[in-house]
Chain A
Amino acid sequence: MTEFYGAPNTGEFWHWTNALHFVLVGLAGGMALLAAILTLRQHPERSRYVWLAAVLIVLDLFVLWAESPARWRFSHIWLFLSFQPGAPIWWGAWGLAASLAATAVLLLKRWIVPLRRIPEMVPGLVLLVGSLVALAYPGFALAINTTRPLWNNMMLFIFPITALLMVLAIALLIGSTWAKRWEVLVAVLSLALLVAYPLTLQGAAREHFNHEGLMGYGIAGLLIALAALLFRNPRWGAALGLAGAVGLRWLLVMVGQFQSPGL
């Protein structure tokens, strides 16, 4: 039996607001990726996606700022141009900032004449790179914590793929039919990752996961499976896929804070 005088800091360090961020950053990064691809391909729907990407990035940054206990230092991540390549959050911050700047150029050129001299290809490429960084960062931010065994290397795949599932679902829900086959493909990929993930857990981590997260995981998996199967009813499939991906990301952030035994 273990007892304590004073207590180690084992409580939740990331709360529901952080889980919300992990959902929003997936939406922001994924939408920025779609906007970048559509911009580079000069797709007629590109403007709508650039707007959506900009709104989602701003919303995500606002949520981060609002939940931060250090609101007045929040800008420090960019302010001093510190170079912290070992920190996934540093990459994420700059990926989002670059994406937001690119969307701003693409959107504001309608009103600011000098911006029209910049070929769309340039902000499009910046948006592409920034969005890929923003998509990848959450998985790295979790997987880097080697003593938290639920956040294993599978996070590097689950988080970007479920982000794509969420934004393709939104694309379908707002009437972009080109997203249909991609959404089904990404739902199948997500499902494969969902099946594989529990097999990568061992010992106490698996015990904790089964105890704390299995039911939620099962529900998220069911929703994503339905998203993959309902290709004849894409809007329903999209809605279910979106809900499943949101739930899955939320659950992994919250349940994954478990520290491996060994102390």
Chain B
Amino acid sequence: MARLGMLIDLSACVGCAACAVACKMENQVPAGASRLWIREREVGTFPDLAVEFRPEQCNHCENPPCVPVCPTGASYQTEDGLVKVDSAKCIACGACVAACPYNARFINKNGYADKCTFCSHRLAKGQQPACVETCPTYARVFGDLDDPNSEIAKALKAAKRFDVLRPDQGTRPKVIYLNAPSKKGLTQEVSNS
């Protein structure tokens, strides 16, 4: 089976948020909630400054903490490694929202946990996720991480370094970042204050 994942090249991302808009439109994401958003941070100190535009969404973790806490089995992993929610089974208890380290889930006003699906309805038609298709700088690559001939696997193989969010959590995210502006990797919030 495929192991679907997404690569985001931060050196190509210009923070235009076309992906966030496309996601919102494609998936009819309600106002006040997001399946995808852009985090923008300054990196470095003057005169050596850069900005990190970092799109974030569900990481479709290989070891997703949101799945085992679901009391009805509504949250599940597909054979392709997508983490999905069966809205017909979901009781909107919020356990998965609490468990997600990436703030990627929310309770939809229609009464179920909602999140990025990598546009699985588009994948079923042989299309790319809306965020990938709409990205004007081709910063996003989507595909099978296990297929050595896929574009994503080749890009990963060629990369000197790649990063994921919160690697310390052991969730093994499948949204992978390349070319973070800081040579130390992705920026991190260290304290709220």
Are A and B associated in one complex? yes
- Segment of A140-148, A170-178, A225-233, A244-252 engaged in the interface with chain B: A140-148
**Once bound together, how far apart are the Cα atoms of A18 and B169, in whole Å?**
26
> A89 near B71 (CB under 8 angstroms)?
yes
Which of B87-95, B122-130, B136-144, B146-154 faces chain A?
B87-95
Task: Give the complex CA separation of A9 and B101 in angstroms.
Answer: 11
| CA distance in complex: A93, B91 (Å) | 12
**Contact assessment for A73 and B70 in the assembled complex, using a CB-CB cutoff below 8 Å:** no
Cβ contact of B38, chosen from A5, A82, A148, A203, cutoff 8 A? A5
- Determine the main DSSP class of A at the interface with B: loop
Instruction: Give Cα A145 to B40, complex, Å.
Output: 26
Q: Which one of B92, B103, B110, B188 contacts A8 once the chains associate, using CB atoms below 8 Å? A: B103
Q: Which residue of chain B has its CB nearest to the CB of A144? A: B69
Q: Which of A1-57 contact B (CB under 8 A)?
A: 1-10, 13-14, 18
Instruction: Tell me whether B79 is interfacial, beta carbon within 8 Å.
Output: no
Number of cross-chain contacts by CB at 8 Å = 152
Q: Are B92 and A68 in contact (CB under 8 A)?
A: yes
Which chain A residues lie closer than 8 Å to B105 at the CB level? 9
Taking the complex as formed, is A113 at the interface, i.e. its CB lies under 8 A from any CB of chain B? no
The answer to whether A263 touches B165, judged by C-beta atoms less than 8 angstroms apart, is: yes
The segment from A116-124, A159-167, A254-262 that touches chain B is A254-262
Q: Which residue of A lies closest to B101 (CB)?
A: A147
Contact B191 A86 (CB under 8 A): no
Q: How far is the CA of A8 from the CA of B166 in the complex (A)?
A: 15
Q: Which of B68-123 contact A (CB under 8 A)?
A: 68-74, 88-95, 97-99, 101-107, 109-112
A68-B91, A73-B90, A89-B93 known; A261 vs B37 contact (CB < 8 Å): no
A7-B37, A82-B72 known; A204 vs B191 contact (CB < 8 Å) = yes
Whether B4 sits at the interface, judged by CB under 8 Å, is no
Q: B156 to nearest A CB, angstroms?
A: 22
The yes or no answer to A88 lying at the interface (CB within 8 A) is yes
Decide: B71 and A13 in contact? CB cutoff 8 A.
Answer: no
Q: Is B48 an interface residue (CB 8 A)?
A: no
Closest Cβ–Cβ distance, residue B72 to chain A (whole Å): 5
Q: Is the CB of B28 closer than 8 A to any CB of chain A?
A: no
Give A129-168 as 1s and 0s: 1 = Cβ < 8 Å from B's Cβ atoms: 0000000000001001111100000000000000000000
B103 touches A87 (CB 8 A): no
Chain B residues contacting A74 (CB-CB under 8 Å) are 91
A-B contact list, 10 entries, CB within 8 Å: A2-B39, A2-B189, A3-B39, A82-B73, A86-B69, A90-B72, A93-B71, A141-B95, A204-B190, A262-B168
